[in-house]
Amino acid sequence: SSQASTYMTKHERIPFEKIIHINLGYDFSLFRLAEPSSADAIRKKYPCGILLLTVCRFTEYKRPELSIEVLRELLARGEDAKLIFLGRGPMEAELRNRIASEKLEDRIFIPGHVDNILEYMAAGDYLIHPSVLESSCVVVKEAGLVSKPVIVCKGIGDFDDYIVDDTNGFRVDPEAFVKQAVDVIARTAGDKPKLETIGEALNKEIKQRFSIDNVFPVYQTLIERSKLKR
């Protein structure tokens, strides 16, 4: 990411001209795409007006507790919302205790690890990602594969490189994640055409920027340059 380049120049004192930025490359044909019938079954299992997903390891810097706060604020506004956590981690017991203490067991669910993550994403309305520790986030790319709108933090990982706010996703202030994420959802949840357009734009950007077909030639160019310098 450009943030990694900045860190290398500022903190590791590597000359900028020696840094060559090459995106991660994915063979997206290897991803098992969502089966519409399975996605529909998941949606029916969690009936609601707004279905949110958070996919992460339950750790301090992923900040999964903020997803609970987003859900709680939406409920306070009268929205018919539910939240699914996919993942495991050291904060799981804390999250489950908080869900129970706030009596949100009928609104927040933790299936754990699943082998059909794209179907869960296809079933949801938004991927909300409060994490402040990323390099190049795979989860957001997976959401892009199923054209799902994402809400991520500004200035984290490579999100600023390819997510254009309100165009192919939503970027919010990490210090005001809950308020701004709630505002985004409340403003856009009723506009299905807009969300579809944003999801489709993310799908196009992900495939263009990170497909191995487009990334591999950059490696080839780097190899050819290295040969010329020998």
CB 33 within 8 A of CB 145: yes
Which three-class secondary structure state does DSSP give residue 221? helix
List Cα–Cα distances, 98 to 13, 82, 112, 128, in angstroms. 44, 15, 16, 19
pLDDT one-digit tens code per residue, 157-174: 999 999 999 999 999 999
pLDDT score, position 46: 98
Please count the other Cβ atoms lying within 10 Å of the Cβ belonging to residue 10: 9
Residues 81-88 have a mean pLDDT of: 97
pLDDT band at 20 (very low <50, low <70, confident <90, very high): confident
pLDDT score, position 3: 79
Residues 75-91 have a mean pLDDT of: 97
Q: What size, in residues, is the chain?
A: 230
pLDDT score, position 27: 95
pLDDT score, position 6: 84
